[in-house]
Amino acid sequence: MVIGTLADGVTRRVEAVGDGISGMFFEPVVRLGVTGLARAGKTVFITSLVANLMDRARMTQLVAQSEGRIVTAYLQPQPDDTVPRFDYETHLAALTSPEPHWPDSTRTVSELRLSMKIRPGGLLGGFSGPRTVHIDIVDYPGEWLLDLSLLDRAYAEWSVEVLEQARTRPQGAAFIAAVEEARDIRDWSEPQAKALAEAYRAYLVAARDAGHMDITPGRFLLPGEMEGSPALTFAPLPPEDAPHRKGLWREMERRFEAYKDRVVQPFFRDHFSRIDRQVVLVDALGAIHGGPQKVEELRCAMAGILGAFRPGRNAFLSRLLMGKRVEKILFAATKADHLHHTQHARLTAIMEALLRDARDRAAFAGAETAAMSIAALRATVEETVSHNGQSLDAVRGRLLSTGKQAALYPGDLPADPARLLTPARTGADSWLDADYNIMAFAPAPLRLKPGEGPPHIRLDRAAQFLIGDRL
């Protein structure tokens, strides 16, 4: 009895010392950035990833888990006191309530620390106790990354480019009219500047809602706490030959520069520069459904995003990073539960082709990159339906719009990605020989057994690529 208690006490003391030592000396931290354009699935991804890392029955492709080395995983206060916490509990409650619904759209950067106790593998395994690895997950909008391209550009140059684009789009008509009126204004007033910025923002919102991805400045859609400040109250104006020193053009130029200094640079300094691993979520199915032009925009957006991670991309970033670089970048097509699994390999091949192209365009070298198709939260079941005497591999789920069950056959993705990427590159208006459908499904009610996280598709593979080597 006495010996038992004594021994118990001794091991606990040793444990406490061990904790103290690792706390004092070295607890590795992996900073995992999660990004993607609006509605790509960032919030659902983080929520399901964290839930599945805490309850790991569905994470068999995570090697540390299959080797039985993950002792426990738990949430901890994050290290950064001024960054909003990722609201994990609220998002999980939305997804797992008796009447599950998708989480609300998020507007800003947020962060969550998940700590894992890991038993070392290999020879050391038997000798040392578990060590702690902290995973700091940072959720930020992909639009903010695309702002990096503004740093190398002057106001006049940027204006010409975005005005040209706006002129070709129906959503831009009202804004272009406002620009014509604002030409050469010398005695401008703040309400005029504001009205013009508002018109520009309205155009960006409409363009985004129509599925366009080339939207700058990114913060105009997600203004956060700087809403209404001059750095967020500007708009492109056509170049003027001799802009008046106090005219509207000069003022807009000044605000554009302020945006770069006060909004873009701080984001890269405070968040981006500290990321070790990155996942970029991509709604590839949505783009394919949207047609060749959306796929082309997706391709440009992927190159733009990847370009932000290219070492030596611009002087400001090089100074900031001082040789540090992101080690792994995963491009994941989300919402793969819209497809029967027999088509998943094709979606992955399309993602791989897009990634190859993005690497070429961005002249990217360095980090290890990979492409996958995943679903962070599986909302469908597979089903084979017969249609005109043909049997089709479909998926079934509850429709978001009506709440009714429906089967979806999204169309047959081509085995050769070039069948999509070539028409996209050459500016085709529609897919020639195919039609792709999509439906918005609501999350399915879940009945989870103890130890199980929410159902997913290949979230464990994604986790293995991103953090597996550090566990």
Ligand X SMILES: Nc1nc2c(ncn2[C@@H]2O[C@H](COP(=O)(O)OP(=O)(O)OP(=O)(O)O)[C@@H](O)[C@H]2O)c(=O)[nH]1
Which residue, 43 or 65, has its beta carbon nearer to Mg ion? Answer: 43
285 close to 350: Cβ distance less than 8 angstroms: no
Interstrand relation of 131-139 and 110-118 (parallel, antiparallel or unpaired): antiparallel
Neighbours of 197 (CB within 10 A): 20
Minimum CB separation from ligand X for residue 42, in Å? 4
Minimum CB separation from Mg ion for residue 355, in Å? 23
339 close to 410: Cβ distance less than 8 angstroms: yes
Minimum CB separation from Mg ion for residue 173, in Å? 30
- Residue 138 contacts which entry, ligand X, Mg ion, none (Cβ below 5-8 A, type-dependent): none
- Residue 280 contacts which entry, Mg ion, ligand X, none (Cβ below 5-8 A, type-dependent): none
Q: Where are the alpha helices (DSSP H) in 138-225?
A: 142-146, 148-151, 155-167, 173-182, 190-209
Which residue, 139 or 296, has its beta carbon nearer to Mg ion? Answer: 139
**Angle, CA of 44, 342 and 370, to the nearest 5°:** 55
- Residue 441 contacts which entry, Mg ion, ligand X, none (Cβ below 5-8 A, type-dependent): ligand X
- Residue 379 contacts which entry, Mg ion, ligand X, none (Cβ below 5-8 A, type-dependent): ligand X
Minimum CB separation from ligand X for residue 13, in Å? 45
Which residue, 78 or 106, has its beta carbon nearer to Mg ion? Answer: 106
CA 122, CA 150: separation in Å to the nearest integer? 48
Residue count, binding to Mg ion (CB under 5 A): 3
- Residue 10 contacts which entry, Mg ion, ligand X, none (Cβ below 5-8 A, type-dependent): none
- How many CA within 13 A on the CB side of residue 445? 4
Q: Which stretch binds Mg ion (CB under 5 A): 103-111, 200-208, 209-217, 442-450?
A: 103-111
CA distances from 442 to 50, 101, 105, 222, 380 (A): 21, 6, 15, 25, 9
Closest CA to 373 of 339, 407, 396: 339
Number of H helices, E strands in the chain: 17, 11
x-or-dash string of contact with Mg ion, 183-202, rule CB under 5 A: --------------------
x-or-dash string of contact with Mg ion, 106-135, rule CB under 5 A: x-----------------------------
Minimum CB separation from ligand X for residue 91, in Å? 8
Which residue, 196 or 284, has its beta carbon nearer to Mg ion? Answer: 284
CA 33, CA 54: separation in Å to the nearest integer? 19
Closest CA to 211 of 334, 293, 142: 293
Residues forming a β-bridge with 381: 396
- Residue 137 contacts which entry, Mg ion, ligand X, none (Cβ below 5-8 A, type-dependent): none
Interface residue with Mg ion among 33, 34, 42, 303 (CB under 5 A) is: 42
Backbone angles phi, psi at 90, to 5 degrees: -65, -45
Minimum CB separation from Mg ion for residue 374, in Å? 16
Q: Which stretch binds Mg ion (CB under 5 A): 6-14, 40-48, 392-400, 427-435?
A: 40-48
277 close to 368: Cβ distance less than 8 angstroms: no
Q: Which of residues 249-278 bind Mg ion (CB under 5 A)?
A: none
Q: Where are the alpha helices (DSSP H) in 262-390?
A: 265-270, 284-290, 292-308, 315-321, 344-361
- Residue 72 contacts which entry, ligand X, Mg ion, none (Cβ below 5-8 A, type-dependent): none
Minimum CB separation from Mg ion for residue 47, in Å? 10
Q: Does 43 bind Mg ion (CB under 5 A)?
A: yes
Minimum CB separation from ligand X for residue 214, in Å? 16
CA 266, CA 86: separation in Å to the nearest integer? 20
- Residue 342 contacts which entry, ligand X, Mg ion, none (Cβ below 5-8 A, type-dependent): none
Q: Which stretch binds Mg ion (CB under 5 A): 43-51, 165-173, 423-431, 439-447?
A: 43-51
DSSP 224: G
DSSP 59-121: -TTSHHHHTT-EEEEEEE--S-TTSPBP-HHHHHHHHHSSS--PPPP--S-EEEEEEEEE---
Longest dimension (CA), the chain: 93
Which residues form the interface with ligand X (CB under 6 A)?
A: 36, 38-44, 102-103, 105-106, 141, 334-335, 337, 375-377, 379, 440-441
Helix 344-361 vs helix 418-425: angle between axes, to the nearest 10 degrees? 40
Q: Which stretch binds Mg ion (CB under 5 A): 36-44, 91-99, 257-265, 462-470?
A: 36-44
Which residue, 84 or 120, has its beta carbon nearer to ligand X? Answer: 84
- Residue 53 contacts which entry, ligand X, Mg ion, none (Cβ below 5-8 A, type-dependent): none
Q: Which stretch binds Mg ion (CB under 5 A): 34-42, 248-256, 318-326, 357-365?
A: 34-42
Site residues (CB under 5 A) for Mg ion? 42-43, 106
